Amino acid sequence: MKRSWNAIPNLGIRSLHLLLAVSFGTLLFAVAGYAQSPDTKPCEIKTPPVEVNQTVFLKYASQQNDLNDIQTDLRNMFSRMKIYGIPSQYAITMRGTPDDIALAVKLIADLDRPKKTYRLTYTITETDSGKPAGAGHYAMIATSGERQIFKQGDRIPIFVGTNDAQNTTQNPKVEFVGAQVQYQDVGLMIDSIVQAHDDDVVLRSKVEQSNVSEDKSGVGTQDPIIRQSLLEGTSTLVLGKPLVLGALDIPGSTRKLEVQVEAELVK
């Protein structure tokens, strides 16, 4: 039997075609398997989050510090947001995602609460050589966190210098030409700040009693000597119960002042 020599090249071409087909099929199977692998993720295009603006007006803020405290808390809690305070309107403007804005509004509602108001009644009892000499009652309305000052007395002028030192040197009799004068308050001064803590009240107070002495100053004949007694401290008050803060000795006399305070809730 004769073998055709022309069949040999054809057989090689067919084998080559078969080999290429198997290789291509294997490649397609590998690509399909890689595409279906759970470890691979398709490429995602990230879009920037949608941001909105909102302005919240504070209902109970009465001081600049109230606005600053809430604004600082918001900036610490929401670092991605833009937060601006408007002191003239006690308002806060925010820019951020709707979720962050909603959380920030809830936080503002928790912080912006009505403040408690109290009536502080100071009773100052005076004794002279241990005998009662009278008592005075001084009442003021104080809001939690705000400072209240009460003064009763006189303002004493004190010479501190002159604008025309040359004329004063040449003519000592012209002592008050261009004089610079400052005024010093003398008498009773009560400085207090209350802070609400549940049913108790924390009171930071300063009670000062001053008067002009009959003695003369050695600096200048026109300079007075002012005697001063000061009582300062922090106390915890129970509503409706008076508390003795302390006593003051009046310098240059036998008099003593006992200071007592009582707090009542107004609203």
| pLDDT in the model for residue 106 | 96
Of 10-14, 89-93, 171-175, 247-251, which one has max mean pLDDT? 89-93
- Over range 137-152, report the average pLDDT: 92
State yes or no: pLDDT of 243 exceeds 50: yes
| pLDDT in the model for residue 225 | 80
Of 22-36, 80-94, 181-195, which one has max mean pLDDT? 80-94
Q: Cα separation of 192 and 122, whole Å?
A: 11
Rg (C-alpha) for the chain, rounded Å, is: 42
Q: Cα separation of 237 and 247, whole Å?
A: 17
| pLDDT in the model for residue 259 | 95
Q: Cα separation of 60 and 56, whole Å?
A: 12
In this prediction, residue 210 has a pLDDT band, given cuts at 50, 70 and 90, of confident
- Over range 8-37, report the average pLDDT: 55
| pLDDT in the model for residue 5 | 45
User: Which of 61-70, 203-212, 215-224, 227-236 shows the lowest mean pLDDT across its residues?
Assistant: 215-224
State yes or no: pLDDT of 46 exceeds 60: yes
DSSP state, 129?
A: T
Q: Cα separation of 205 and 149, whole Å?
A: 10
Letter for the amino acid at 37? S
Decide which of 240 and 45 is more confident. Answer: 240
- Over range 109-138, report the average pLDDT: 92
Residue-averaged pLDDT of the chain: 81
Would you say 111 and 70 are in contact if contact means Cβ atoms under 8 Å apart?
A: yes
Q: What's the sign of the alpha-carbon dihedral 94, 95, 96, 98?
A: positive
Of 127-136, 195-204, 213-222, which one has max mean pLDDT? 127-136
**Burial label, 124 (beta-carbon count in 10 A; 0-12, 13-18, 19+):** buried
State yes or no: pLDDT of 43 exceeds 70: no
Helices (H) and strands (E) in the chain, counts: 4, 11
In this prediction, residue 22 has a pLDDT band, given cuts at 50, 70 and 90, of low
In this prediction, residue 8 has a pLDDT band, given cuts at 50, 70 and 90, of very low
* In the chain, % of residues over pLDDT 70: 73
In this prediction, residue 127 has a pLDDT band, given cuts at 50, 70 and 90, of very high
Decide which of 152 and 26 is more confident. Answer: 152
Q: Which of 183, 104, 118 is nearest to 151 (CA)?
A: 183
Domain limits of the chain?
Answer: 52-111, 117-265
Orientation angle between helical segments 64-77 and 98-111, nearest 10 degrees: 140
Fold type of domain 52-111: Ribosomal Protein S8; Chain: A, domain 1 (3.30.1370)
